[in-house]
Amino acid sequence: MTAPAGVAEQDSLHEEEALGKAYDARLLRRLWRYVAPYRAQIALTLLLVAPMFALELAPAWIVKTGLDQVIAPSIGVSGALGAGGAASTAAPAVPATVDGLAHGPASIPPLVWLGILYLVAMLASSGLQFWQTLVMAKTGQLAMRTLRSEVFAHISRLHLGFFDRMPVGRLVTRATNDVENVAEMFSAGVVALLTDLLKMVGFAVALFLVNAKLALVTFLVVPLLAGAAIVFRLRIREAFRSVRVRIARINAMLQETVTGMKVVQLFSRESRNMRDFAELNAAHRDAWVMSIRYDAALFAVVEMAGSLSVAIIIWYGTGVAAAGVLYVFIDWMRRFFLPLRDLSAKYSVMQSSMASCERIFQLLDTEPAVRDATPRRRPPAAAAAGPRGAVALENVWFAYNGEDWILKDVSLRVEPGEKVALVGATGAGKTSIIKLLTRFYDVSRGRVLLDGVDLRELPQEELRHRVALVQQDVFLFSGSVAENISLGRSDIDLAAIERAARAVEAHGFISALPEGYQTNLHERGANFSGGQRQLLSFARALAHGADVLVLDEATSSIDTETEALIQQALRVLWKGKTALVIAHRLSTIQDVDRIHVLHHGRIVESGRHEELLARRGVYHRLYRLQYETQKTVAGAPATGGKG
Amino acid sequence: MTGAAQPLPAVAAAGPGLRRLLSYLGRHRVAYGVWALLTLSYVAAFVAVPILIGHAVAAAESKLPDAEVARRCLWIVLVTLLRAGLRYYSRVLVFNLARDIEYELRNDLFAHLQRLPQSFYLRWRTGDLMSRCVNDLGSVRLLLGPGVLNLLQTPILFLAVFAAMLTLDVKLGLLVLLPYPAFLLIARSFGRAMHRTNLRLQEGLASLSNSLQETISGIAVVKAYAMESANQVRFEAVNRDLYRRQIAVVRVFAGLGPVLSLLPAAAMWLVLLVGGHEVSGGKMTLADFFTFSMYVYELTFPTFLMGFVVALVQRGAASMQRLDEVLCVEPSIADRADLVPLERLRGEIEFRQLEFHYPSAGRAPALRDVSLHVPAGSTLGIVGPVGSGKTTLASVIPRLYEVPDGRVFLDGVDVNRIPLATLRTNIAMVPQDSFLFSMSLAENIGYGLPALDRERVVAAAERAQLAKDVADLPHGYDTLVGERGVMLSGGQRQRTALARALALRPGILILDDALSSVDAETEAEIQRGLGEVFAGRTVILISHRISTVRDADQIIVLDDGRIVERGSHDELLAGGGLYARLASQQALEAELEGEEAVA
């Protein structure tokens, strides 16, 4: 089997290394689809920005009012600090109602009134903030829930070939970490950035309204800051990229080592693994150094700019503004700078959100190579009316990769109820035929028919209810034994499960388990023997009541005694059904009606066992080999080996 | 947190985890000492700025010349620059320390996982382990970076600011202090809630990732049985559950910020009311009032931050606890003090009344009363029904599972006293499932060699009848085999696993039904080649095919964990027991085929 090797592997590795922009309109537009159902909530949170901003302005304004109109006059300072004293106490641009509110009823001392206003403003601001955060987070998580479900559904829809190239861990990351990263965009990314931006503009406007001259001078530090922010931001981006790539490599190695730990230990690979791992780990650690440096620099510069602006306000403002105005300036300038302080953090969040978003959409954009025909065509009435379970391959060509033909012009028919075996050496193409019959892959040329209908025109769900695959390597899911037989189909009740298990002789060992059918299985089904697992897969197939069975080497790794048991079970299983058996061991195909011999992707011989032997071709050779091995075991003389 | 009268349950539960973390911190104590000094200097500069601002305002207030005001403003600039520098270095230092410790911790985790026995991997899910090594380690990193930074810096900052305020005005200083003890209360109750909700969130994430992992691993079955929609329903349930857990966390988080911001607000309120009154009454200068409000203002952000730091620490502690749970598992299979320094094994194996249980409770012993002697250089065949203990018996030889002392001996030495390195380099096992790594074919074959030895790899591949397949692969021996070797067929995987074992040139070779996916023709070829390999080695052949074991010097038949028969092929046939029955069944099949052939 030569599946797409090197190139694809490399591609998927590099995919992890691509790190996008922090803002990508295309991605955001697409993401919007998931958020759109909650647009009312989004609008609400954005509308809340206005009152929240007003409430942020309030505290300093209240203190200013206290300073300029109550405290300063009482100690005989005219309100303005410094020699000039020319500035007015209240900026003319501020609406009179705001100042009016600041004075309050005459019965309450002005300072106490201001205190009350201050408290009310703070409480209201806190309450609104809580509410906004909660609504935003809920919206984000609801949208992400939808996205996660869609990722899961999409993964289930993808054709099997996709999973050959995509490591499990990477797919799990898409639905967990990547979705979490996108969710961050809602709690700390795009909305926070938008809110911050609105507020910064708001504070700037408010400062200009209060004292334009002072504002102009104070904002001199802004270009310095913006320059630093842009430079560091770009550098952080670069550093962050290599961090992401390296952590992905670390986790991939970790996953693989944990999964293959038995081999690791058996081959005492621990110290070499440790060396490789420590190397990856160190590369990751070192990748952080630059990122930390720029991040800390940005932090320091922002803090410095804040304090510099205070110095400017006092140095310049003493001549032109009242003490209260200075207070307002200091407070609002700080609030203006506050968002910049963790701008780099938010930028990182956006960046990793976008990168995750891109990867998720990339996965969602991977078209399943195998999909239902649109519009769904119902099978022609004639075909549906006839006996169910006729399988045919018509001039089938198949390659995983370009022109590397695995199957070359294969044609065969299996009549309803007929049992057919496919034999051939490893790599002859037997497994590929299974993959085509179950439509894990589509044919490259030719057709595969079920009751005369091309598989590609049959809804996959219907196909899979009608064709059951019994695999050699039985995969058991966590959950109970019963669930592993019904596989989530609600119409298979416990009675049906037990009936199927009894029929294939699996009831005995199942009921011997501590909790019978309700016994939970470990991951990897470690507590069943190979034979038991095989019988479970028979029960599975029987319970699902398909009319076509595809048995993949179903009896090849079983001891003789169990094999007899399984042969017995097999007869029960395939009674009245169409069956296609792929087997290495000739003894497992005693009962079949017809045998096809595959050799290098072509059917070279077909017929009954005796006919094929008489032909003295490939089958005869395969058979002799098997026979020679076994006759020596029995110590019996070779009587019929030569046919 | 430490101020609370009783230790938080969360912290108490996280005790051993935090103790372990402290030992990592201890290794960097000099660096942390330097960092503490930097932090103290930073705090000093931090406290100085409002004083300098007050100073400058005082100059303006008392109408000093502009030059004096400018001079005092220049001081603000200078100290601010110094403060920025200190902040930069302290931040860089502590974050880099966090990286170093994360690095050490991750290395230690990896090393520990590699030391843990197979019984551990029967109990722990891969998804769970991965979630601990990825998500929990991430939380611990946050605890070490921003967590540790603020845990030290913020309390010192608070103390310094309060001290400065008290020197300015004792009465107002004490008043302003009033709201802050509430911080402990808030932190305590929020901390508990965060710990609880976060723990539940982690569980939710783990179960979601398990559910995914399983679906993907079993995708062929999922598709073959059209389980997609039933699976989707199951997933939606897990997903919905995760959403609830996430919102529970958010609710706590969203509340923390606003509640905490009320503390400095209350303090500022007191400054405005009481301070304003004092200034009006002439008991306080306007400049001092300014300085006071600057201080309260400076505390706003740290208070706010501290709340999240508490959350960070809580989460980090919970995560550290989860890491500790893994790190605490004793590697029960390790070199012991009473080691016998063997380097080579001749290959003599002896079992003395071995009884073996798998760790999961309530199961019958997998092996009972097994006594057996395998001379060095001889071949042992093990046959028996499925689940009779064949694999288990073979697995205890390289000490994949724990066995009691005095039961298993190699070269006359108790297996528990032989260095693990000796065991694993002298014993090669080809397990039933041929797990391959996502590296090149050559690296997979040379997996157990100290360094990639091309010659040995090629020789082993030839012995395992893999060489002819290699020629067909796109890049020959350098072909990447994909995750778990998906680029190869089942038979090719098994032969690669066989080659991997042969490349070791081991003293003891164990083949556990190693050729089940190989077709008969290739198997015969392999067996011919193996005859040479077997010479001079102790070989254990596990099979359900009599033909595989018939030439063995000694054959045992296992049934339900006991040796029910033993002897040579001929003796066992003559004995007329289970072995003879198996043989005659297989012979019957052969005869049947033969008769049909004749017909």
What is this model's ipTM?
0.81
Model pLDDT, residue A85: 39
Q: pLDDT value at position A140?
A: 87
Summarised one tens digit per residue, pLDDT across range A169-206 is 778 888 888 888 888 877 766 777 788 888 889 999 99
Reported as type and span, the H/E element at residue A351 is helix A343-365
Check CB contact under 8 Å for A149 and B60.
no
Which residue stretches of A422-559 are H helix? Answer: 430-437, 460-466, 481-486, 494-503, 507-511, 530-543
> What pLDDT sits at residue A103?
64
Residues of chain B positioned with their CB less than 8 A from the CB of A164? 482, 486-487
The answer to whether B355 and B369 are in contact (CB under 8 A) is yes
| Domain residue limits, chain B | 11-327, 349-598
| Residues A308, B77: C-beta atoms closer than 8 Å | yes
8-state DSSP, A456: G
Give burial (CB, 10 Å; 0-12/13-18/19+) of A376: exposed
Q: Which overall architecture, per CATH, does domain B349-598 show?
A: 3-Layer(aba) Sandwich (3.40)
Tokens representing residue B419 in the block? 């260095």
> Which residues of chain A make contact with B38, given a CB cutoff of 8 A?
none
* Interface list for B 55-94 with A (CB within 8 A): 56-57, 59-61, 63, 66, 69-70, 73-74, 76-77, 80-81, 83-85, 87-89, 91-92
CA distance B8 to chain A (A): 26
In this structure, how many other beta carbons lie within 10 angstroms of the beta carbon of residue B12? Answer: 10
Spacing of C-alpha A310 from chain mean position:
48
DSSP lists the bridge partners of residue A396 as A410
- What is the helix (H) or strand (E) element at residue A341, kind and residue range? helix A323-341
Mean pLDDT of chain B: 84
From the list B115, B209, B387, the residue facing A532 with the nearest CB is B387
What helix, strand, coil percent values describe chain A, rounded to 5? 65, 10, 25
Contact B520 A299 (CB under 8 A): no
**Chain B neighbors of A532, CB-CB under 8 A:** 386-387
Residues counted in chain A = 643
Beta bridge partners of A467: A548
Q: Measured between CB atoms, which of B60, B230, B544 is closest to A314?
A: B60
B550 touches A at CB < 8 Å:
yes
Convert A536-570 into a string of H (helix), E (strand) and C (coil). Answer: HHHHHHHHCCCCEEEEECCCCCCCHHHHHHHHHHH
Nearest-10 crossing angle of helices A530-543, A560-574: 0
Of residues A114, A468, A560, nearest to B586 (C-beta): A560
Does B282 score more than 50 pLDDT? Answer: yes
Q: Is residue B462's pLDDT more than 70?
A: yes
Across the interface, do A633 and B290 touch by the CB < 8 Å criterion? no
Looking at the partner chain, which of B59, B114, B435 has a beta carbon nearest the beta carbon of A270? Answer: B114
pLDDT higher than threshold 90 for residue B112 = yes
The minimum CA-CA distance between A642 and chain B, rounded to whole Å, is: 8
| Cα–Cα distance measured from residue B42 to residue B81, given in angstroms and rounded to the nearest whole number | 11
Residue B12 has pLDDT above 50, yes or no: no
pLDDT, position B90: 92
Chain B residues 237-266 with CB within 8 Å of chain A? 239-240, 242-243, 246-247, 250-251, 253-255, 257-259, 261-262, 265-266
Report CA Rg, chain A: 37
Please compute the mean of the pLDDT values over residues B68-79 and round it to a whole number: 85
Question: Which chain B residues in 514-543 lie under 8 Å from chain A, judged by CB atoms?
Answer: 516-522, 524
Pick from B326, B309, B318: nearest CA to B15: B318
Closest CB from A426, A560, A643 relative to B519? A426
Alpha-carbon distance of A409 to A431, in angstroms, equals 16
| B393 vs B351: CA distance, rounded Å | 9
Q: What is the pLDDT of residues B364-420, one digit of tens each?
A: 788 999 999 999 999 999 998 777 888 899 989 988 888 889 999 999 999 999 998
Put simply, the answer to whether B437 touches A478 (Cβ < 8 Å) is: no
Nearest chain A residue to B52 by CA: give it: A311
The pLDDT, as a whole number, for residue A251 is 86
Scored b (16 or more CB within 10 A) or e, B61-91 reads: beebeeeebbebbebbbebbebbbbbbbbbb
Closest CA to A248 of A158, A314, A181: A181
Nearest to B400 by CA among B453, B447, B359, B446: B359
Determine the Cα–Cα distance for residues A559 and B386; give it in Å rounded to an integer: 7
In the predicted structure, residue B241 carries a pLDDT above the cut 90: yes
| Omega within 30 of 0 (cis) for the link into B155 | no
SS3 B380: strand
* 8 A C-beta contact, residue B523 and residue A628: no
Instruction: With CA atoms as reference, report the closest residue to B432 among B503, B550, B516.
Output: B516
CA distance linking residue B475 with residue B477, whole number of Å:
6
**What per-residue confidence (pLDDT) applies to A588?**
63
pLDDT at A374: 65
Please state the φ and ψ torsions of residue A166, each to the nearest 5 degrees. Answer: -105, 115
SS3 content of chain B, % helix, strand, coil (to 5): 65, 10, 25
Across the range B8-21, mean pLDDT stands at: 64
Selection from A360, A317, A307, A385 nearest residue A146 by Cα: A360
> Distance between terminal CA atoms of chain A?
33
**Which CATH superfamily includes the segment(s) B11-327?**
ABC transporter type 1, transmembrane domain (1.20.1560.10)
The domains found in chain A, sorted by start residue, are 28-221+302-365 (1.20.1560.10), 417-442+465-605 (3.40.50.300), 608-643 (no CATH)
Asked if A6's CB is within 8 angstroms of B480's CB, the reply is yes
Q: Quick one: average pLDDT of B436-444?
A: 89
- Mean pLDDT, residues B328-351: 88
Judging contacts by C-beta atoms under 8 Å, the chain A residues touching residue B236 are 149
Contact A300, B104 (CB under 8 A): no
**Alpha helices in B440-577, H assignment, sequence order:** 441-445, 454-463, 467-472, 490-503, 520-534, 546-549, 569-575
B427 closest CA partner among B418, B440, B436: B418
Low-confidence ranges of chain A (pLDDT < 50): 1-19, 78-94, 96, 381-383, 523-525, 554-557, 628-643
**Which residues in chain B have their CB less than 8 angstroms from residue A510's CB?**
none
Q: Does B361 touch chain A (CB under 8 A)?
A: no
Separation CA A509–CA A37 (nearest Å): 51
Length of chain B: 599
Split at pLDDT 50, 70, 90, the class of B103 is: very high
Q: Tell me the per-residue pLDDT of B284-308, one tens digit each, with 9 for 90 and over.
A: 888 788 788 888 877 877 887 777 7
| pLDDT one-digit tens code per residue, B519-567 | 666 777 777 777 777 888 899 999 877 878 888 899 999 988 899 999 9
Reading the block at residue A95, the tokens are 């609406």
Q: Is B385 on the interface with A (CB under 8 A)?
A: yes
Residue B405: phi and psi, rounded to 5, are -65, 150
Distances (CA, A) of A52 to A57, A195, A334, A502: 9, 10, 16, 69
Cβ of residue B492 closer than 8 Å to a chain A Cβ: yes
Q: Give the dihedral sign, CA B118/B122/B124/B129.
A: positive
Q: B318: closest CA among B132, B543, B455? A: B132
Q: Are A469 and A187 in contact (CB under 8 A)?
A: no
Minimum CA–CA partner of A169 in chain B: B213
Contact between A584 and B255 using a beta-carbon 8 Å cutoff:
no
Which candidate from A5, A163, A266 shows the least CB-CB separation from B487?
A5
The pLDDT, as a whole number, for residue B31 is 94
Q: Are B77 and A308 in contact (CB under 8 A)?
A: yes
3-state secondary structure of B12: helix
* Residue A89: per-residue pLDDT: 41
A168 vs B475: CB contact, 8 Å cut-off?
no
Say if B502 is an interface residue toward chain A (CB within 8 Å). Answer: no
**Tell me, what amino acid is at B316?**
G
Instruction: With beta carbons under 8 A apart, name residues in chain A contacting B464.
Output: none
| Window from A32-41, B344-353, B582-591 with minimum mean pLDDT | B582-591
Cβ–Cβ under 8 Å, residues A101 and A345: no
Percent of chain B whose pLDDT exceeds 70: 93
Shortest alpha-carbon distance between residue B334 and chain A (Å) = 12
Q: In a 10 Å sphere around its CB, with 0-12 CB exposed, 13-18 middle and 19+ buried, how is residue A636 labelled? A: middle
Owner of token pair 């005694």: A561
* Selected residue of B75, B205, B212 to mutate for chain A interface (largest A Cβ count, 10 A): B212
Give me the pLDDT at residue A426, please. 62
User: Among residues of chain A, what percentage have pLDDT more than 70?
Assistant: 80
- Could you tell me where the DSSP H helices lie in A104-189? 110-157, 160-165, 168-173, 179-188
Q: State the Cα–Cα distance between residues B351 and B371, nearest whole angstrom.
A: 5
- CA-based torsion, B445, A258, A8, A473: positive or negative: positive
Question: Cβ of B223 and A438 within 8 Å?
Answer: yes
Contact of A114 with A62, CB cutoff 8 Å: yes
Chain A CB contacts of B518 under 8 Å are 426
- Rounded to whole angstroms, the Cα distance separating A334 from A329 reads 8
Residue with tokens 């203006």: A336
| Contact yes or no for A77 and B286 at CB 8 A | yes
Query: Are A428 and A356 within 8 A, CB to CB?
Result: no
Alpha-carbon distance of B436 to B517, in angstroms, equals 15
Q: Give the mutation candidate from B39, B89, B216 for the A interface (greatest A CB count, under 10 A).
A: B216
Count of other CB atoms within 10 angstroms of residue A29: 9
What is the value of pTM for the model shown?
0.71
